[in-house]
Amino acid sequence: MHSMGLVNRTPAVCSVLEGTKFQRMAGLELADRDGPAPSTTTTYLYRQLRPIAATPSEIGEPTGQRTRQPVLRTISARRTDVSAGPIAPPEADLCFVSCVAKKLARPAAAKDLYTSPWFVKARRLVEAQGWPWFILSAKYGLVAPEEEVAHYEKTLNDMGVAERRDWARKVLEALEPHLAGVQSVVFLAGQNYREFLAPELRSRGIDVHVPMQGLGTAVALARQSRLVSKPPRSDRIAHTVHFYDLLQQLAAGLGFRRLVDCNGRMDWPQRGVYFFFEPGESRALSGVGDSVVRIGTHALTDGSRSTLWQRLSQHRGSAKSGGGNHRGSIFRLLLGLALARRGDCVPPRSWGVGADPGAAARKLG
């Protein structure tokens, strides 16, 4: 940014990159943000919404809202770019995680002191893999996860080359007793934290893996989450990661389907469980990609003749008009209530009242 004349403008630039005005102009949608913020090392991951930039008339508030159809994502054996990998070995002997700007205000164990979403993801991955690890602190150098440290405001990104080289020398001195038998290490850290450490480790015959190199941090950690096979039962986030990993592994081979494009002529099983994904509803700590917004099934009683497609068609409604029966679809009922609460529409008084229009009329008088 210095070459562009943007001195001391990091907070302003980050604010623009996160703003809705920039996203509308560029035809993008912010999917995830990783790394310390605001910082020159912050990584932003966007979803492209259209191939061309917005015109000046599109920059203001939209005049109307287009209804986005939920995406019905059937399970596919094909790997997406996010889940491709693995790109770091599960048998790594050591892992290094860089410090971040967001910290607790009080002294705490180093693993708990740093609170940014990026650090939480990195810690979850490291602990799930069982890697021995250290934190690379700009102030304290090499820090064990259990070591208690106080809050500080310091980053290698503000240091000159000589100061960073001296920092790396001290880290290597502290690391020396821990390198016996080490053959492979992983860096979850930016360039400034590894620039003088990685070459020295390689010179000793140690394999150095940098999973985020050339990738956005969010994408790299999402790929790494595939390595988490059996998360601890107490870790809710790890279970969520495992859930999405299972969705990727189940081989239905049908790809993605938009609910509005589905019909009864498609090859549907008689019984099944469905998962709805909504564009724009993104995963956060569990990785990158669209989030599951509804899980449902059907035929809950003995002797029920309801099929999977019949249930899905109730949720879809008319393919031409988009209309449907909210009394026959809890999904449509809840979606209507959500739109009303957001102020997008005013539902009729009878919305959700009674099992049919006649019952609603009798109850409302």
| Domain contains 253 | no
Instruction: Give yes or no: residues 166 and 102 share one domain.
Output: yes
pLDDT tens digits, the chain, 365 residues: what are they? 455 555 567 777 877 887 777 877 777 776 655 555 566 666 666 666 544 333 333 223 233 333 444 444 333 222 333 333 344 445 688 999 999 999 999 999 999 999 888 888 888 888 877 889 999 999 999 999 999 999 999 999 888 999 999 999 999 999 999 998 899 999 988 888 988 999 999 999 998 888 766 555 555 555 555 544 444 444 677 778 778 777 776 645 566 778 888 888 988 888 888 888 888 888 776 766 778 888 888 887 778 888 999 989 888 888 788 788 887 888 888 888 888 888 777 778 887 777 677 777 777 76
Residue type, 145: P
Quick one: pLDDT at residue 173? 95
Catalogue the long-range contacts made by 204-208 (C-beta closer than 8 Å, 24 or more residues apart): 204/179, 206/179, 206/182, 207/183
C-alpha–C-alpha distance, residues 230 and 114, integer Å: 25
| Domain contains 297 | no
| Domain contains 141 | yes
Instruction: Supply the mean pLDDT for the chain.
Output: 75
Instruction: Give yes or no: residues 99 and 205 share one domain.
Output: yes
User: Alpha-carbon torsion 188, 191, 193, 195, what sign?
Assistant: positive
Quick one: pLDDT at residue 72? 42
Quick one: pLDDT at residue 165? 94
Instruction: Give yes or no: residues 102 and 38 share one domain.
Output: no
| Domain contains 217 | no
Quick one: pLDDT at residue 209? 86
HSE value, Cβ hemisphere, 13 Å, CA-based, for 69: 18
C-alpha–C-alpha distance, residues 65 and 58, integer Å: 13
| Domain contains 240 | no
Instruction: Give yes or no: residues 108 and 172 share one domain.
Output: yes
Quick one: pLDDT at residue 87? 46
| Domain contains 77 | no
Ordered DSSP codes for 212-256: TTTS-HHHHHHHHGGG--S--TT-HHHHHHHHHHHHHHS-----E
Among 66, 83, 109, identify where a domain stops.
66
Quick one: pLDDT at residue 80? 32
Quick one: pLDDT at residue 25? 78
Q: How many domains does the chain have?
A: 2
Among 177, 210, 243, identify where a domain stops.
210
Quick one: pLDDT at residue 217? 53
Among 157, 177, 210, identify where a domain stops.
210
Angstrom CA distances, 171 to 66, 83, 84, 165, 254, stand at: 54, 33, 33, 10, 50
Range of the domain at 159: 94-210
C-alpha–C-alpha distance, residues 298 and 326, integer Å: 16
| Domain contains 242 | no
Place of tokens 């650090």: 119
Q: Which of 110, 105, 99, 109 is nearest to 36 (CA)?
A: 99
Instruction: Give yes or no: residues 51 and 118 share one domain.
Output: no
What's the whole-model pTM score?
0.43
**Backbone phi, psi, residue 194, to 5°:** -120, -5
Instruction: Give yes or no: residues 102 and 206 share one domain.
Output: yes
| Domain contains 342 | no
Quick one: pLDDT at residue 233? 42
Quick one: pLDDT at residue 60? 30
Quick one: pLDDT at residue 135? 96
- CATH code assigned at 100: 3.40.50
